[in-house]
Amino acid sequence: MRGTDHQQADMYSYLSPEMRVRADHPLRAIRAMSDKALSQMSARFDEMYAKTGRPSIPPEKLLRAQTDPDVVHGA
């Protein structure tokens, strides 16, 4: 079963990541493009996961976690 892609903004801080990164930072545009691409793949992800059972980590979250550091660090 596929989990939901809930993005937790402020787990250990009173400032969200949105407040920490300036509005014109280039990574904002990259993040918007990756979020759009992942949302377009949502139906395909749904087909890959069982409808019953214990929820897993959503593939969007896994892909975002793998891709974002690569973009930030230039890999």
pTM of the full structure: 0.61
pLDDT at residue 31, rounded to an integer: 83
Q: Which stretches within the chain are classed as H helix?
A: 17-20, 26-40, 42-48, 59-73
Distance between CA atoms of 31 and 47, rounded to whole angstroms? 25
36-74 pLDDT per residue, tens: 999 899 889 888 888 888 888 888 888 888 876 666 665
Indicate the domain borders of the chain: 17-73
pLDDT at residue 19, rounded to an integer: 77
Residues with Cβ within 8 Å of 15's Cβ and at least 6 positions away in sequence, in order, are: none
